């Protein structure tokens, strides 16, 4: 807890990370066992697991930033961004991350980096054009809490787990499974290899998506606690969803890698199955934030008509709904 009384919850991310590492190695060992259990192949799987986990975790910030073509900006270039991030970082009692802007009109934002001292927050040009300062503050609070809750580490390990298992499945498809010596083959032999090849990548992806959806809810709650303004984030999410529908990010290997880190799915709704979505439905997130606002400020703090419509809203002393400021256009 910092001097302002704000405490980072963490949401048991240390435990989640430990369990993810354990599950990663368990799956790798299971694949090894089902395909013959030869000592020679065991070292190959171990090398793949260690290498993928290390690269994903250690270079997560560089990889994500590069995939979006983002550039680091100075305080002279983006003074309002720096002011908001500095204020919220100080309130949380945490280091201030580096700030980047990505040259795309698709509105979104994400945080990345292996820890608090090697973190970065990135906003797209599109999100800076459609959000006002209050909404942008809500978004940045959300992203900072991903960093301070160590969600980046958790998601990096989840991504490594899914990647390792997927590539092992590919290896089985092209190389086949089982030992050449039938006496040393695993109990399932080729059948085990086929099942592993098909089911393991699907299972790993589903687990990765479930973890991603959970951490979005956590960051919504903690970010709104940090800013003290759940309504701002709710309004921002509504604007972002509409903005993405009008200008979705082009889906390719690079953007798919970073999409799970973003505050909202950057792709067209028709391209994303809910089962495999990395983000919970925007309507559910807004409903939770509205409930949080009611608990924080009282039920009169949010107008039902504005909230239900997903429109920007705020309350003044009279309880009347008034629009937010004009969209942020500093950059």
CA distances from 289 to 195, 241, 264, 319 (A): 42, 15, 15, 18
C-alpha distances in angstroms, 272 versus 35, 106, 160, 163, 200? 33, 16, 21, 19, 21
Q: Has 125 been annotated as catalytic? A: no
Q: Where along the chain do its domains lie?
A: 13-308
Residue of 116, 135, 143, 216 with catalytic role: 143
Task: Spell out the residues 6+ positions from residue 173 whose beta carbon is closer than 8 angstroms to its own.
Answer: 197
The full 3-state SS of 94-126, as one line of letters, equals CCCCEEEEECCCCCCEEEEECCHHHEEEEEEHH
Per-residue pLDDT of the chain (331 residues), as tens digits, is 555 556 666 666 667 667 767 776 777 777 777 666 666 666 776 777 677 767 777 877 788 899 899 999 999 999 999 999 999 999 999 999 999 999 999 999 999 888 888 899 999 999 999 999 999 999 999 999 999 988 877 776 676 666 667 666 666 666 555 444 544 444 445 565 566 666 666 766 666 676 777 888 989 999 999 999 999 999 999 999 999 999 999 888 788 878 888 999 998 766 555 556 778 899 999 999 999 999 987 654 444 433 443 444 443 333 323 334 455 555 5
Q: Helix 13-34 and helix 189-227: axis angle, to 10°?
A: 170
Give CA–CA dist 199/207, Å, rounded. Answer: 12
Enter the DSSP assignment of 1.
Answer: -
State residue 33 phi and psi, 5-degree precision: -65, -45
Q: Environment class of residue 42 by beta-carbon count within 10 Å: exposed (0-12), middle (13-18) or buried (19+)?
A: middle
Task: Write the CB contacts of 153 (distance below 8 Å, at least 6 apart in sequence).
Answer: 13, 17, 57, 114, 115
Which residues are registered as beta bridge partners of 120? 98, 112
């Amino acid at each position: 807890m910092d001097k302002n009384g704000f405490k980072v919850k963490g949401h048991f991310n240390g435990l989640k990370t430990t369990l993810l590492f354990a599950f990663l190695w368990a799956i790798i060992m299971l694949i090894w066992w089902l395909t013959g259990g030869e000592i020679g192949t065991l070292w190959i799987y171990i090398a793949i697991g260690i290498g993928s986990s290390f690269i994903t975790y250690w270079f997560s910030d560089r990889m994500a930033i590069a995939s979006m073509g983002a550039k680091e900006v100075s305080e002279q270039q983006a003074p309002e961004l720096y002011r908001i991030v500095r204020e919220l970082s100080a309130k949380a009692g945490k280091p201030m991350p580096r700030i980047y802007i990505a040259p795309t009109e698709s509105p979104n934002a994400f945080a990345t980096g292996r820890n608090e001292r090697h973190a970065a927050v990135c906003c797209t040009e599109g999100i800076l054009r459609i959000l006002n300062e209050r909404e942008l503050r809500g978004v940045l609070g959300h992203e900072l809490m991903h960093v301070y809750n160590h969600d980046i580490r958790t998601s990096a390990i989840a991504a490594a787990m899914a990647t390792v298992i997927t590539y092992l499945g590919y290896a089985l498809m092209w190389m086949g499974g089982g030992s050449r010596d039938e006496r040393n083959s695993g109990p399932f032999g080729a059948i085990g290899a086929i099942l592993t090849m098909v089911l393991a990548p699907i299972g790993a992806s589903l687990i990765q998506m479930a973890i991603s959806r959970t951490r979005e809810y956590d960051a919504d709650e903690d970010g709104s606690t940090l800013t003290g303004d759940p309504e701002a984030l709710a309004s921002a999410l509504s604007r972002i969803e509409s903005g993405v529908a009008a200008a979705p990010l082009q889906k390719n290997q690079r953007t798919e890698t970073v999409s799970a880190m973003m505050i909202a799915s950057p792709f067209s709704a028709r391209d994303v199955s809910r089962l495999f979505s990395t983000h919970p439905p925007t309507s559910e997130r807004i409903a939770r934030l509205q409930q949080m606002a009611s608990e924080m400020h009282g039920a009169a703090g949010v107008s039902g008509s504005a909230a239900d419509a997903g429109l920007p809203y705020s309350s003044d002393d009279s309880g009347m709904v008034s629009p937010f400021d004009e969209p942020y256009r500093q950059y």
